[in-house]
Structure 1
Amino acid sequence: MSEPSADVSATVEYTMDKWRMDRVPWAMWACVAGLAIGLHAESRGQNGAVLATIYLALLGLAFAGYALTALIGRSGLPLLLELLIGVLVLIVVSALIGGISLIVGGSGGGSSYVGAMRSLYWSHLVNPSVNVFGWMLLYLGLGWIAFSSYRHFYADRAVVSMSAAGIRFHRPWLKGLFIPWQEVRGVGHLEVPGISGVPFVSPYAAAVTVGQNFYEQHIAPKRSFFSPPGAEAMFQPKGEMMQVVLSSADMAVKAEDFLGPAEARWKAFRDRAGPPSQPGGTIVYGRWSITGSAWQAVQFLAPLVGIAVVMLYR
């Protein structure tokens, strides 16, 4: 823990910036692979760039249907109603995919030149050439680079923030969750029941403990229907209390960097309410920065060299 975070007058924020930027080199390698395939693989006369866009749209629709079906499966609805809704989602998604395919490829009927060309394009959509997948890799890589760079320079809201007033969570599926320090009963590593009955203390997860009544009245109602799979792991019972996990895999922040600031503010403000804002500034964890290390340089320069080689020998 850095020394400034011990100042309880400061607000501490935890972001996903480093997690996103650490994956930019992998996205760059996806661009290298996409360029190599798109420029050198057989195209069979197809417009790989256009077909790749259509394929990504179709895959996005299919994934949306799968995600919605998974959410319905965790909703606790009666089995018959769940089945009916699932069938409806399948019909709608299939109709959308079929509609896009027909718009792009045509019905294949008719003897006109336009009809024949549409039928040929439809066959391309069913049996694409290899270079189409290269363009898909290129689009996905560039998309991740653009999104991560935008969020790095124009930061979104912190996932977790701690102030003198308490802890705030800013997740899309957990909006408006606030835990005052007066409601916190303990700060420490996450404890889960062990097989032998002895609790297992996770060294990688930081959590605060709150009373069961506070959880049922102020936290449980805020848990959204759209919470992703595994979101229930954020809340773990501990006797007659509930643990709320602060750390997560989408924030490249050590558990100790949560525990130090949380414990300092809890001890300072658990017996008295702190003001909602403090003049002590803001400390950010999980922010990516240029370290100047050789490994970081290699991570970003090696894909650029790969792109230059691919373009040189096209």
Structure 2
Amino acid sequence: MSEPSADVSATVEYTMDKWRMDRLPWAMWACVAGLAIALHAESRGQSGAALAAVYLALLGLAFAGYALTTLIGRSGLPLLLELLIGVLILMVVSGVIGVISVLVGGPSGRSSYVGAAGSLYWSHLVNPSLNVFGWMLLYLGLGWIAFSTYRHFYADRAVVSMSAAGIRFHRPWLKGLFIPWHEVRGVGHLVVPGISGVPFVSPYAAAVTVGQDFYEQHIAPKRSFLAPPGSEAMFQPKGEMMQVVLNSADMTVKPEDFLGPAEARWKAFRDQPGSTSRNGSTIVYGRWSINGSARQAVWFLAPLIGMAVVMLYR
């Protein structure tokens, strides 16, 4: 029986769903560890749940400042302007963190928040009780579980899709990239220069080759400085042409699952510019599903058992 994607009139999509769902058990274990710490560690009278939220907000703010500074460093601005902007970002982030620290911890390390339940005392941010870190693990684990589950049932756009018209990429930092089949010069594994100068064919990356002119006119202008570190590996020169890598670490899909559909559609539609899909069917790769295997059952049931044990012996 042939693969469903062998029907070249069908659209093939590649998603991050399996990548996200495969990490869901780790998020569950984070919840188990967080619950165990929150229930059994000392609290010193602090509200661990509220203080953990403040810590996560501060960490998010610090990471945002770091990411913004990194992006500015890759923007090609003059060195002096880049330095001034970096110092300004550092001052703003540090100032906001300082203000939040004073409001939450108070100048002397204590402040109060009066609510319906009475007074709630905070410890100084630099000296939290251990249960605060348990709540942080709980928040992070529950956040990933909620996000990945939502995206599983309400899928976002596929990262890569192939139709009779060509290949489309849907990445936040590479919006609107479309490669029609008649612009593709070849389909195969990525070829990179070897240490000895002999080209090395990577078995771990599938790529399509396009002309240098097409790359400079239609791909290079779409590359954004907002791209994450390592994204430059998606584009690799090959003589006077450019290779565009199809698969990536955030899609749990084998290179062969890209090469087969890509090569079949390229051969079928490279001489037919403007072709469109005729039957409207869609085949999806990278979609997570329950396969009934013992490994998958243990992978998801083990943290649930751990959660029950923690709750039983609290």
Partner Cα distance (1:300, 1:278) in 2: 40
User: 3-state DSSP class of the match of 2:252?
Assistant: coil
Asked if 2 retains the 8 angstrom alpha-carbon contact of 1:27 and 1:142, the reply is yes
Query: Quick one: which amino acid aligns to residue 97 of structure 1?
Result: I
Partner Cα distance (1:301, 1:114) in 2: 40
For the pair 1:61 / 2:61, whether they are aligned, the reply is yes
Report matched runs for 1:281-292 at 5 Å: 281-292=281-292
In structure 2, what is the equivalent of residue 188 of structure 1? 188
Q: Which sits farther off after the overlay, 71-80 or 260-269?
A: 71-80
In structure 2, what is the equivalent of residue 33 of structure 1? 33
Asked if 1 retains the 8 angstrom alpha-carbon contact of 2:234 and 2:245, the reply is yes
In structure 2, what is the equivalent of residue 253 of structure 1? 253
For the pair 1:203 / 2:197, whether they are aligned, the reply is no
Q: Which sits farther off after the overlay, 44-53 or 94-103?
A: 94-103
In structure 2, what is the equivalent of residue 18 of structure 1? 18
Q: Which runs of 5+ in 2 are unaligned?
A: none
In structure 2, what is the equivalent of residue 70 of structure 1? 70
Write out per-residue CA displacement over residues 46-75 of structure 1, whole angstroms, 9 at most, x where no aligned residue.
110001000000000000011111111112
Asked if 1 retains the 8 angstrom alpha-carbon contact of 2:169 and 2:177, the reply is yes
Write out per-residue CA displacement over residues 280-301 of structure 1, whole angstroms, 9 at most, x where no aligned residue.
4000000000000000000000
Partner Cα distance (1:160, 1:109) in 2: 51
Query: Quick one: which amino acid aligns to residue 19 of structure 2?
Result: W
Query: Quick one: which amino acid aligns to residue 288 of structure 2?
Result: W
Report matched runs for 1:1-314 at 5 Å: 3-108=3-108, 121=122, 123=124, 125-314=125-314
Asked if 2 retains the 8 angstrom alpha-carbon contact of 1:52 and 1:136, the reply is yes
Structure 1 position 113, deviation (Å): 8.4
Partner Cα distance (1:161, 1:298) in 2: 33
Write out per-residue CA displacement over residues 170-199 of structure 1, whole angstroms, 9 at most, x where no aligned residue.
000000000000100000000110110111
Structure 1 position 96, deviation (Å): 1.6
Q: Which sits farther off after the overlay, 236-245 or 93-102?
A: 93-102
Structure 1 position 313, deviation (Å): 0.2
Asked if 2 retains the 8 angstrom alpha-carbon contact of 1:184 and 1:211, the reply is yes
TM-score, normalisation: structure 2: 0.95
Query: Quick one: which amino acid aligns to residue 3 of structure 1?
Result: E
Q: Which has the higher helix share?
A: 1
Structure 1 position 114, deviation (Å): 8.0
Write out per-residue CA displacement over residues 90-142 of structure 1, whole angstroms, 9 at most, x where no aligned residue.
111111211222222233499x9889xx9x6252x220011100110011000
Q: Which sits farther off after the overlay, 134-143 or 99-108?
A: 99-108
> What is the root-mean-square deviation of aligned Cα atoms in Å?
2.1
Write out per-residue CA displacement over residues 197-224 of structure 1, whole angstroms, 9 at most, x where no aligned residue.
1111110100000000000000000011
Partner Cα distance (1:253, 1:216) in 2: 28
Asked if 2 retains the 8 angstrom alpha-carbon contact of 1:205 and 1:246, the reply is yes
Q: Which sits farther off after the overlay, 296-305 or 78-87?
A: 78-87
Gap change, CA 1:109 and 1:58, over 3 Å in 2: closer
Q: Which sits farther off after the overlay, 101-110 or 278-287?
A: 101-110
Query: Quick one: which amino acid aligns to residue 41 of structure 1?
Result: A
Partner Cα distance (2:134, 2:153) in 1: 29
TM-score, normalisation: structure 1: 0.95
Percentage of identical aligned residues: 84
Asked if 2 retains the 8 angstrom alpha-carbon contact of 1:163 and 1:278, the reply is no
Partner Cα distance (1:209, 1:33) in 2: 47
Partner Cα distance (1:113, 1:153) in 2: 42
Q: Which runs of 5+ in 1 are unaligned?
A: none
Asked if 2 retains the 8 angstrom alpha-carbon contact of 1:24 and 1:145, the reply is yes
Asked if 1 retains the 8 angstrom alpha-carbon contact of 2:46 and 2:123, the reply is no
Structure 1 position 89, deviation (Å): 0.8
Structure 1 position 270, deviation (Å): 0.5
Asked if 1 retains the 8 angstrom alpha-carbon contact of 2:10 and 2:279, the reply is yes
Partner Cα distance (1:158, 1:101) in 2: 41
Write out per-residue CA displacement over residues 131-165 of structure 1, whole angstroms, 9 at most, x where no aligned residue.
10011001100000000000000000000000000
